[in-house]
Structure 1
Amino acid sequence: MPLGGLGEVGKNITLYECQGDMILVDCGIVFPDSDMFGVDLVIPDFTYVVQNKDRIKGVVITHGHEDHIGGLPYLLKEVNLPIYATRLTIGLITNKLEEHGLVRSTKMVEIAPHQKFKLGCFTVEPIHVNHSIPDAVALAITCPAGTIIQTGDFKIDYTPISGGPTDLVTIAEYGEHGVLALLSDSTNAERPGFTATEQKVGASMEALFSRAGKKRIIIATFASNLYRVQQLIDLAVKAGRKVAVSGRSMVNNTQMALELGYLHAPETVLIDIEDINKYPPEKIVLITTGSQGEPLSALSRMAAASHRNVRVGEGDFIIISANPIPGNEKMVTKVVNGLLKLGAEVIYESMYDVHVSGHACQEEQKLMLTLAKPQFFLPVHGEYKHLKKHAQTAAAVGIPEKNIYIGENGDCVVLSADGLTVGEPVPAGAVMVDGLGVGDVGNVVLRDRRHLSEDGLVIVVATIDARTGEVLAGPDLVSRGFVYVRESEKLLDDARDQVRDVLGRMSAADKRDFGSVKTRIRETVSAFLYRKTKRSPMILPILMEV
């Protein structure tokens, strides 16, 4: 049962069930769309998980990206489950659980490639894969019904920075023994060819380092891309520069990766962000978050000249080492414009090879399909267009179309050697997190927020005598986000007259029925304002009885 991650990039969570035992794979978040006003992040709907909590043996995590681990704190607050993950992934999860005060109550079990472990009737073998974060694994999940391989996020890199290439041998061995189904990463399903190796970025960065000359180098990249951070540290050492990191997630991840041995740097090279102004510009490399133009990130604050430690100017050479995630292009452009206005030289164009994807392109997807030889294929991890394209790729390598299923969140896909059927769907959807509130912002609240954002608010206040129904004070109108009050006094006065007319025409008995009075006021004022302005603000009548 995919409870997230289908028809979207993010919020990945899959529930497996066999002979009454269940396991979860991944538990991620997705960041809100632009029309989800005020929402901080979106997590999966855990209703079905909570209903079956006694049958779930554990959560197995493929790697440490937010779209695979970000939902864990919210899940663990509802259901206490053991977590199975690789060493670095446990480090990242621990950082996350510490913020929510859940570390002590959560059992975490370290797993490693080739080391099988049992959860109920499931036997799980982690398989090493390449991705843009170390310690990523695919999972071979074997149960009495057969073996399913879930790739997690992967690419096939024959010259990775560390950790060796994707373990194609183990996948091929499973393929020889028989794979019931393959669930494979579809993110780059539209891109032909192979994903470039991370080594390519190193060569490009080296050329840019020498081009920077006497300027200070500032590089924005994903906080989780530790391979990239390692390359930048190595290049800084070679160029005789010191390295500082900025941005909360970058600082936390770098610190943790150094402690666990995933990053290596001479002690004298890393300096505190507070000390960067003690060195000449040509001696500094600053690695920062904000490659997606996030409004509160370190790079955005630099572009707005509001960063506490960094003043960007003509002596800066800035590299944005990431491609904008679809939908973030405008925010990235805004940051680039801000940096350019401050006089910095900014490298953000794709022609410089300053970023490569962590996801497989079509040829790698074909290789995965050919080696695994699955009886059934379910494309996962992508919007519908990605899943559709991946399904076409699978058909091209010989998987019968009747054995390919493009699922939706909440589907109950029943797999056995006899065939694939779809059972009754289970609850699945998006739960919005706003501040400390989880799930208390729904479609109705969002609709109101959208309404307020588009047309504003007009409050109508009046005081009515409870006995006689006579208007004792008001009506008064208060406007927010609708019109500029000082320039629209006549409009609001006329609207006030409309309310007076409504109240004047109603009998004393009617006035005691507050519900109908409010409805009449709302309808009258709304119609009047629309006639005069062609806008429909939210009308909020407040009647006080004395």
Structure 2
Amino acid sequence: AVFGRSMENVVDIGRKMGVIKIKNSDLLSPDQLGHTPDSEVCILCTGSQGEPLAALSRIASGTHRHIHLKPSDTVVFSSNPIPGNTASVNKIIDKLFRSGATVLSRSVLTNLHTTGHASREEQKLMLQLIKPRYFMPIHGEFKMLMQHRQTAIDTGMDPNKIFVCANGDILILRNHEVLQSDWRYQGDDIYVDGNDITGLSTAVLKDRRILADNGLVAVVIAIDSKENKILSRPIIVSRGFVFIKDSQSLIKEAEFIVNASLQEKMKEKTTFSEIKNCIRSTLEPFLYKKTKRNPIVIPVILNSKQTMEELTKKRTAHTRSKRPIHTKKEHIEREEK
């Protein structure tokens, strides 16, 4: 008997292709299980990686509609836990033992593992049959992707046309050519605040995560919006990104690149929003290329001739309002000093 949607699909395709040879009379339907002696039944099911909704998980929890474990049952794991799934697989095995079943998994004494992945020679055969112009290995740890890359090189592929990407990397497909972009997409886990039903705090948690991992970079520029020109070269300040004293050359180069981009941008009339976008789109790819980190970039624009005058007025008014009142004697003493 076969249980689990993916397992049923695989067996069905295998039978149609002639790879799996099983007679119709040898396959049991769920309803026939109850009328067949246990010693004559073998069940193939999904859930070898501890997936919570798979057939084996429901069998172990006692919630499966058709299968209930007995002390005389034997469960065989013909798979290895994928790195990261060990804890969930161990939970399933523990539940199976609690049900009284005998559980066999791969160990020093038993070699039960049947791989679901192609071997290196099979991968080479696939590459030689398809003859791809571009190749991007997927699904696995970085070391596995690099080994798959080497396999492609061994078959004669151009190393420059093989892309080993991390989550968030972007490939551009244009005019039958493939290029790797300097831009990155935040393709990692999304954290949600359980107390916020609107989901608005998700952006806040995302920013906290980026700040914790990559830090912050502020770009301060002074402009004259009336004359549409930059009054001084941008100043870059960072927190939690790089140690300033050891990265002076990086900061100076970043300031130069941002300044050149802004000079080009402000040859024509522009808005504050466009200036900020120009700073981000110039600085973010540069910093990632140099450091492999994506800090939060905050542009700070000082509209010098207007904003600075207003700030000065506010500060003067604020100072006058808080100036202490002196007695006549104190006033004379201050004048003498």
Superposition TM-score tier, normalisation by shorter sequence = 0.3 to 0.5
Give the structure, 1 or 2, with the largest relative contact order (CA under 8 Å, sep 6 or more): 1
Structure with higher helix content: 2
- TM-score, reference length from structure 1: 0.29
- TM-score, reference length from structure 2: 0.44
